[in-house]
Amino acid sequence: MGWSELKHLSVTLEDDGKVALLRLEHGKANEMGIDEVDDFARLARLLDDADGPRTLITWSERRSRKGTPIFISGANVSERQGWSTERVKEHVRWQRQVLAMLRQAPVFHVAVVNGVALGWGTEYLLTADYRLACDDARFGLPETNLGILPGAGGTSELWSHVGLAQALRLGMTGERIDADEAWRIGLVQERVGDVAAGVARARELARLVGLRSPTAVAAFKRAVLASVGRPPSLRAEEEARAYEHCVDTGEAAIGRSAFRKIVAGGSAPWGPRKPWSPLN
């Protein structure tokens, strides 16, 4: 499977394949339907490849006919007309699984949000490691007004990012919040003026990631995520196993031999990313 198989997502590779740029430009309003979710599953598998990119940057410059900027307007609910109850439930379970796959991808995922990120749009942000909000960013979870609830992470995962009270507020009231409020409650980590500034900041973060061992970076992310909710003894064991993976794969030796070059701001001749998995 190659990058050309992504038919509904616009992804380009830069910096010798180290950076994947995902520009959201699909459907009427960047809504998420069957085709897009299937492409996201393919994307997750491509990111997991040993020779895959080290950073993923997601952003959108899309605008509605009225000029409203759009990040992701939500799920494509209209395509579900005529679906059986079972098919709806299976599809939403698939969405949830795909976003979980993206969350675990061994890359540094930066999302630059400009415009509305509603429902699925807000939930998609939970797959990112770092989130930047532009001046025009707007966030919200409208699902309970449609007789459902956020089903792709907004119910199970959002609270761990913004706290229980804020998650309940967003999900139960459907209140939309702006970029400053999203930054205040921790939904995003930085504020930027516009998309250009956001993408520039994301590219700088990608440059820093690209200097480092892809094996060490990936193992670090996996170990951090695996530590969430576990007792201290298991967290320490995951850290030890991830560290020893870097030693066993030879990356630590490469780092030692290239120490002077690294201190001077250069990069060592790292090997390809070698996967590491936490304990079950």
* Largest interatomic CA distance in the chain: 64
Model confidence pLDDT, tens digit, residues 73-84: 998 888 888 999
* Contact of 96 with 152, CB cutoff 8 Å: yes
Alpha-carbon distance 21 to 55, whole Å? Answer: 8
The pLDDT tens digits for 162-216 are 999 999 999 999 999 999 999 999 999 999 999 999 999 999 999 999 999 999 9
pTM confidence score: 0.95
pLDDT in tens, 159-177: 999 999 999 999 999 999 9
CATH superfamily of 3-209: 2-enoyl-CoA Hydratase; Chain A, domain 1 (3.90.226.10)
Domain boundaries, the chain: 3-209, 213-263
Cα separation, 31 vs 70, in Å, equals 10
pLDDT over threshold 80, residue 18: yes
pLDDT digits (tens, 9 = 90+) for 219-271: 999 999 999 999 999 999 999 999 999 999 999 999 999 999 999 988 999 99
Give dist(CA 261, CA 275) in Å, integer. 26
Cα 157–59–89 angle (5° rounding)?
Answer: 40
> Where in the sequence numbering do the catalytic residues fall?
123, 143
